[in-house]
Structure 1
Amino acid sequence: MKIKSNLSRAAVLILTIIFLITAVTFEIFELSSLPAQFFGTLLGVVITAIITVLLLQGQTKSEESRERNLMVFEKKQEVFFHFLTQLNTILQKEKLTLHLSHDKTLEREVHSLQDLLFEFGFLQMHTSSETFNQILVCVGNLMDESKKIKHIEEKTEHDFEVYYKVLATDFFAIVSLLKLELYNAAPESIDKKQLDRIIRLSF
């Protein structure tokens, strides 16, 4: 192995010498300018190599950043969609238990207050503090209105209409906040008149 390596080096050296002799003999290069041309070429090779390395490093970092951003986006999407689904579950429950339930079948199924706090924890990891605080306000409004409607013994259409208007307003506010976090798109106002009309026609 060592002999082959030495032979390769010797071959390269011999070919280089032959090239230089040929270049001088046939006046491809002038002997006086040969060192300058040699060092100029060598410098060009070194600069080219450095630029190539820097470009490759930049490309690698760019690809790593793109992959990381994609993974973060997908995780945010998963957390946000799951939170909205669980929010619907929370609002439909009569009440949340104070402790963990032994009847849970899903790892992140919301049964207790502790489950709800963990859901908020997942959400906070992927949102800004401002967005998270606004979502807390909206969820508080929804839970408050849900509690009110559940405690009314003889519910009227007006009670349900008020409840669903609050539900629609705060739920879509949460969706807009999550949309802003996920897609960095400015929230667009929904047509509340049409939404209220749909709610009224549902009774």
Structure 2
Amino acid sequence: MDPLGFKDGPLVWIDCEMTGLNPESDRIIEIAVLITNGNLDLVDQVGCHYVVRTDKQVLDNMGEWCVNQHGKSGLTQQAIDSPHSPAEVAAHVLAYIKRWVPEQRTGVLAGNSVHADAMFLRAKGPDSDGLIKGVWSDIMEHLHYRIVDVSTVKELCWRWYPDTARRYKELAPKESTHRALDDIRGSIAELKFYRDSIFK
């Protein structure tokens, strides 16, 4: 598939796993990207996925939920062992996005509750280490200011099409792995379900 332009309606699906919920003090420890056109067709099946090198002391100070979940999924140990710095990962992610969506302000950020990921990507958080701007901020500067948040569609579906919402709940995986790439694939599948069930 060729790189996408405005007429293709590109969606840049991003999911991050973090050490907590505060973008000013917590860190991104995993990030994944998949890109689709407006019809939700993937431009690349593999996508872009990195675990960010993180000091054990930082990981030991995570809240209980993160300690349990990231420990169970294996992400905590992978973050300790990762060779990739935040700046290196941010550069690779931006290069991947530009490869498929070269024109600035064309790709729309997409995901589930993706406003939270956007807050971390915009923040100057602890990974910036004296930089004038956040280490991840160039990613957001390349994307359009709008977002497609699947959780918005989910909430509206429960209110307006409750039978459809119940059907999706029966079909959906019962538990998330809370790993970035798996979560993105789940979000794309969920939006496809709503498109085929509601947006006819």
Q: Give the structure with the larger strand fraction.
A: 2
Greater relative contact order (Cα 8 A, min sep 6): structure 1 or 2?
2
Q: Give the structure with the larger helix fraction.
A: 1
TM-score (norm 1): 0.23
TM-score (norm 2): 0.24
